[in-house]
Amino acid sequence: EVQLVESGGGLVQPGGSLKLSCAASGFSISDSAMHWVRQASGKGLEWVGRVRSKVNSYATAYGASVKGRFTISRDDSKNTAYLQMNSLKTEDTAIYYCTREYSTGFYDIWGQGTMVTVSS
């Protein structure tokens, strides 16, 4: 079965750090860009960022609200993408989804999401 499974979410204090993982099964992520998208409770989808494939030099890009605080990486040998979140703020509280960007430029596979709560 083709799927993405996120893990690593939880409760963290403001200013803290957390690292999320996105494990793929049923397919290889090596040829795809992997993205993170978040959704605060009752709100819409917000793009967090992405990491491109090896042939695209593992290039990363980030949304304005997380740039400089979050880092996206990947380990193709483990078929896993990661989201390192530092200097967390209460407004980072959300469900975090990872998703694959298919070759024709759309999100075809989504994980079930992992909840991150930033609170003291």
Partner 1 sequence: SYELTQPPSVSVSPGQTASITCSGDKLGGKYISWFQQKPGQSPVVLIYQDTKRPSGIPERFSGSNSGNAANSGNTAILTISGTQAMDEADYYCQAWDSSTAIFGGGTKLTVL
Q: Which is nearer to partner 1, 17 or 56 (CB)?
A: 56
Q: Pick one of 45, 69, 73, 76: the residue that binds partner 1 (CB under 8 A).
A: 45
Q: How far apart are CA 49 and CA 13, in angstroms?
A: 22
Q: How far apart are CA 49 and CA 60, in angstroms?
A: 7
Q: How far apart are CA 26 and CA 8, in angstroms?
A: 21
Nearest CA-CA partner of 60 in 84, 28, 40, 39: 84
Q: Pick one of 44, 55, 77, 120: the residue that binds partner 1 (CB under 8 A).
A: 44
Nearest CA-CA partner of 32 in 70, 80, 65: 80
Q: In the window 58-117, what residues touch partner 1 (CB under 8 A)?
A: 61, 63-64, 97, 102, 104-108, 110-113
Give the strand pairing for 10-12 and 114-118.
Answer: parallel
Min CB(7)–partner 1 separation in Å: 15
Contact track, partner 1, 23-42, x by CB under 8 A? ------------x-x-----
Q: Which residues bind partner 1 (CB under 8 A)?
A: 35, 37, 44-47, 50, 61, 63-64, 97, 102, 104-108, 110-113
